[in-house]
Amino acid sequence: MENNETTDCDVLMHPSATTWAMTKNIPRLELESDADITMRSPGRLRHHQSNITENIAVLDKEAAENSKFTVGIQLEKANVEDDSKQAHAAKKAEKATATVSIPGIKSPVKPSNRIQGLEPTAQFRPAGSEANKLWNDFGRAQATTTPEACNEPATATDFGPLSHPGAFPMSRGVKTPNPGRSPSMQHLIRKQSSIISQLDTTSTSDSIAFGVQREPQHGKDLHVFSQQAQYSTVCHRNQAIAARGIGTKSRTPASSYKGRKKTKPTIRTAVQAEHRQTSFGMRSSRNQNAYFSYDSLAVDNQPRPLLRGLLNQVVSAQTRTNPKTTSTSLHQESHQYEHLFNGKYANTWGTSTKKTLSVESPAFTPATLPVPGKGATISAQAASAAPFTPRNLASGTATPSSQIEAEPTTFNPAQAREFTPQNYDVSQQLSTNGAADAQVFDPFAMAAVAQAIPSTPYNPYLEENNQLGANGAGYYQGQASYAASIQPLQYHLYAPIGPHKEDILSYQRHAHDFFMPEKIREELQKKTEATLQVMPNSQLPDFENYHSLVALDTTHHRSATVFGYPSWVYKAQSAKNGNFYCLRRLEGYKLSNENSIRSVKEWRRVDSGSVVTIHDAFTTRAFGDSSLIFVTDYHPLSKTLVEHHLASPNRFGNRIPTTVPEQVLWGYIVQIASAIKTIHEANLAVRCMEPSKVLITSKNRLRLNACSVLDVVQHDAQRALPDLQQEDFFLFGRLIVYIGTNQLGQHLQALKPLVEQMARTYTKELCDTVNWLLSPSVKSIAEFYTGIASHVVDSLDSALHAEDSLTSSLFSELENGRMARLLMKLGTINERPEYDSDPKWADTGERYVLKLFRDYVFHRVDANGHQVVDMGHIIACLNKLDAGIDEKMLLESRDGQTAFVVTYREVKKQVASAFADLLKSQRR
């Protein structure tokens, strides 16, 4: 015993397989003979992975002679996607742990890298440990298989995809026994060890894998059949082994093996003796065929290849010591190890793996690195392999196995190994879809400012990633390398969120999926147009900071009924900030008290979605009189309630009373109540709630207008605020009556018949609400809200729906924004007549590719030379370009003389570079 500590290793690999291992990214660990080894296999862990390509044990005779043996396993972790699955798989693996002690094998000479994400699969034990004692007991144990092992259901996905193309599919309809679970399978495996040992000692091929040799003629597989058992094993060039049993009938005639190597009869003998009607291995879920790989040749929960490899090594080591041993005697000798599979462990593995673990045994840690002299059999690649460094250990000591086994069943995410994608550049760790994984992008994070500027993680959403990324490499010539994301943004970044009204197939898209709804577009465009509208020969003056006045009044009717002064409304633009405002002018108002106009200040603080915001009030003589001007928000194309509900004329100019739906009316009520609540809470009163002073700014969207006007013009009246607030309720009730009945009445008496009229159209609840508002009792807005609570909730719900659909529309515009940016860039580059006194700039170098790309996207022609106008193609191309995906396209010049095959990624790089050149020359 050389060491008393326990170490972990995942893989034991012979040097002769190093090259293979390196290509497969398999860590290596070499062992010397004469050491005790206790091995733990990941067991069923690999069954939970979908892409296990190899699982192989390699045995080399030469290595055995040099007192070394190797066993290799590759377990690809990359497909265990998320932590929970990893943890789940690791937990299963723990359960599947088996312990085997093999005498005569030394401690590892050079530990190497662990497979990331896997639990330790091997632990080294001192000679004479409890494991050895168990080992010796095996011979006396009987072969049994536990019910659990047999009954555990196996699904098709238990076995990964076909490990190699050379594996034979099992004929359809042949039932495949659950590999490693049935007693017959255990039996097979027991005997398989014999085959292996014999092959190992008789074959001289380098491609021996578990003693099965590559077929020389076909350079592919070696099919080994017994005449009776019809058993075949296959060793593919990648050394994965598949085997199948197809019952008593062989599909491959034995004659096809004429002239094969001498190893065949030996195998045949072994197989003939032991294996009948047995099949095992890997099952394909897709075509019902069964594929068998050697790695599944195991009892359930067993360290299959490792165990077999070690077992064979022991056998071959013994063969070495007695060169005269015949294959038959080897076969017999091998049986002494069969108790490994059918003895005590076989029993306990099926029931409780914990029992069999020799965790209490003292363990050793490999203390020495491989002696250079001993590395004669180690290839250069193996020798230069990175040393094994346990990832989770703070100290340099190896992980004691007991630590891992102590809590095998509890789920502890912290124990789950970090998944590191093997093929990625670790300097750019990205998770799916480009989101930063290990380092979350946070532009405000200043943690590392004290140190040297850290390399900025790639932010896929940043337009100019090179500029500050990579320590400002973008600023220095020669370092501005294009840092595209390893996992590019998905070109189909259209991820429209609901609400979706129609059920269409996933690949189907409406044109309006890519753009905002026509209705909204039209409305917004009209509003923009209205906002920008000017009157060419306007006589309206410019005053204060306002200019470009446009009258908004629809009639020339001078009405002083509401405010006591004729009022005019204009749209104007501010010279201060360029914004548009609405100016309400009270004609002929003479300011007698400065304080009156100050009350507007308080109105500025009123912030409600249902009140037109007031900004300022002042007097002016610009109109040739003394006018009072109120500056409020401008809501283009808004209408007053009178214009909307009470004055809608038919085509003959006659007004047709239209009944406002009750739901709409409730919506108005809730909005006005909300405005009143805000105003009353600001210690103000609405005072003016005429239908002509309530604006509808968009569909069913109300805003109280001209609220502050009466506070100014009737300032001298000095009415108490509570009175005014109580009056607001009456005005509110009256407003509802006007809208509900489509009539305007001026007096309280005139209201009564209107309310009765309402009762014929609307529900009692609405009429009661109106009556309550009109009643003389003292009210509060909170009380009112309590009464209409259910309608408030309804109103909120419809507001949320409206918001959802607007947000959804916004999404499509977001994507259009991406394309617009790209088009702008392409537009500045393509066909540019000159750049830096170089008239050919746009047609040379990388710009030429962009020119061809432009033709590819926009100027397509069909086979007959007719133009093809395909918006979908344009959108797809631009989005792919924006994402910089690896898809290739063929760009051809117009004369057909030049053709490029480029990826979108390259074109994106060229766009970025050409545009950067443009900006650079502009700065100069």
Question: From the CB of 829, what's the least distance to ligand ATP, in Å?
Answer: 43
DSSP 8-state secondary structure symbol assigned to residue 847 = H
| Token pair belonging to 655 | 């007004």
* 640 is annotated as contributing to ligand binding: yes
3-state secondary structure of 56: coil
Q: Which residue has the tokens 């597989």?
A: 221
Q: Are 674 and 610 in contact (CB under 8 A)?
A: yes
DSSP 8-state secondary structure symbol assigned to residue 180 = T
Question: From the CB of 518, what's the least distance to ligand ATP, in Å?
Answer: 24
Question: From the CB of 430, what's the least distance to ligand ATP, in Å?
Answer: 49
The whole-angstrom separation of Cα 774 and Cα 755 is 10
The whole-angstrom separation of Cα 173 and Cα 475 is 67
Question: From the CB of 688, what's the least distance to ligand ATP, in Å?
Answer: 10
Binding stretches for ligand ATP (CB under 6 A): 552-554, 559, 562, 567, 569, 582, 612, 632-635, 638-640, 642-643, 692-693, 695, 705
Q: Are 605 and 658 in contact (CB under 8 A)?
A: no
Query: Given the complex with ligand ATP, which of 32 and 633 has the nearer CB atom?
Result: 633
Question: From the CB of 734, what's the least distance to ligand ATP, in Å?
Answer: 16
The three state secondary structure string of 762-818 is CCHHHHHHHHHHHCCCCCCHHHHHHHCHHHHHHHHHHHHHHHHHHHHHHHHHHHHHH
DSSP, residue by residue, 67-120: TEE--------TT--SHHHHHHHHHHHHHT----EESSEEEEEE-BPPPTTPPP
Question: From the CB of 744, what's the least distance to ligand ATP, in Å?
Answer: 11
Q: Are 454 and 448 in contact (CB under 8 A)?
A: yes
**φ and ψ at 618, to 5 degrees?**
-160, 165
| Token pair belonging to 858 | 């926009």
- Half-sphere exposure of 632 toward its Cβ, with a 13 Å CA cutoff? 26
Q: Are 319 and 330 in contact (CB under 8 A)?
A: yes
Q: Are 35 and 2 in contact (CB under 8 A)?
A: yes
Query: Given the complex with ligand ATP, which of 420 and 531 has the nearer CB atom?
Result: 531
C-alpha of 292 from chain center: 35
Q: Are 31 and 110 in contact (CB under 8 A)?
A: no
Beta strand extents in 34-181 (DSSP E only):
36-39, 68-69, 101-102, 105-110, 122-125
Handedness of CA 85, 87, 90, 94 (dihedral sign): negative
Question: From the CB of 566, what's the least distance to ligand ATP, in Å?
Answer: 8
Question: From the CB of 548, what's the least distance to ligand ATP, in Å?
Answer: 15
* 584 is annotated as contributing to ligand binding: yes
The whole-angstrom separation of Cα 156 and Cα 721 is 80
The whole-angstrom separation of Cα 363 and Cα 556 is 102
Tell me the sheet residues that pair with 105: 33
Question: From the CB of 552, what's the least distance to ligand ATP, in Å?
Answer: 4
Q: Which residue has the tokens 């990579």?
A: 470
Question: From the CB of 554, what's the least distance to ligand ATP, in Å?
Answer: 5
The whole-angstrom separation of Cα 390 and Cα 697 is 67
Query: Given the complex with ligand ATP, which of 632 and 913 has the nearer CB atom?
Result: 632
Which of these, 420, 374, 438, lies nearest to 113 by C-alpha position?
420
* 633 is annotated as contributing to ligand binding: yes
| Token pair belonging to 914 | 């050409």
Question: From the CB of 916, what's the least distance to ligand ATP, in Å?
Answer: 45
The whole-angstrom separation of Cα 563 and Cα 706 is 10
Strands 282-283 and 290-291: antiparallel
Query: Given the complex with ligand ATP, which of 9 and 612 has the nearer CB atom?
Result: 612
**φ and ψ at 476, to 5 degrees?**
-115, 135
Question: From the CB of 665, what's the least distance to ligand ATP, in Å?
Answer: 20
Query: Given the complex with ligand ATP, which of 72 and 691 has the nearer CB atom?
Result: 691
* 693 is annotated as contributing to ligand binding: yes
Query: Given the complex with ligand ATP, which of 164 and 644 has the nearer CB atom?
Result: 644
Which of these, 59, 1, 15, 36, lies nearest to 319 by C-alpha position?
59
The whole-angstrom separation of Cα 733 and Cα 735 is 5
What dihedral angle (degrees, nearest 10) is formed by the CA atoms of 519, 522, 527, 531? 170
Query: Given the complex with ligand ATP, which of 292 and 634 has the nearer CB atom?
Result: 634
Query: Given the complex with ligand ATP, which of 555 and 749 has the nearer CB atom?
Result: 555
Which of these, 96, 73, 76, 92, lies nearest to 84 by C-alpha position?
92
Question: From the CB of 534, what's the least distance to ligand ATP, in Å?
Answer: 16
The whole-angstrom separation of Cα 426 and Cα 189 is 42
Handedness of CA 691, 697, 702, 706 (dihedral sign): negative
The whole-angstrom separation of Cα 846 and Cα 138 is 72
* 636 is annotated as contributing to ligand binding: yes
Question: From the CB of 600, what's the least distance to ligand ATP, in Å?
Answer: 15
* 634 is annotated as contributing to ligand binding: yes
Query: Given the complex with ligand ATP, which of 412 and 561 has the nearer CB atom?
Result: 561
Question: From the CB of 612, what's the least distance to ligand ATP, in Å?
Answer: 5
| Token pair belonging to 658 | 């239209």
Query: Given the complex with ligand ATP, which of 159 and 668 has the nearer CB atom?
Result: 668
Query: Given the complex with ligand ATP, which of 486 and 552 has the nearer CB atom?
Result: 552
The whole-angstrom separation of Cα 779 and Cα 381 is 90
The whole-angstrom separation of Cα 738 and Cα 744 is 5
Looking at residue 328, its amino acid is T
Query: Given the complex with ligand ATP, which of 696 and 907 has the nearer CB atom?
Result: 696
Query: Given the complex with ligand ATP, which of 676 and 695 has the nearer CB atom?
Result: 695
Query: Given the complex with ligand ATP, which of 9 and 713 has the nearer CB atom?
Result: 713
Query: Given the complex with ligand ATP, which of 278 and 697 has the nearer CB atom?
Result: 697
Q: Binding site residues for ATP, as ranges?
A: 584, 633-640, 692-693
Q: Binding site residues, as ranges?
A: 584, 633-640, 692-693
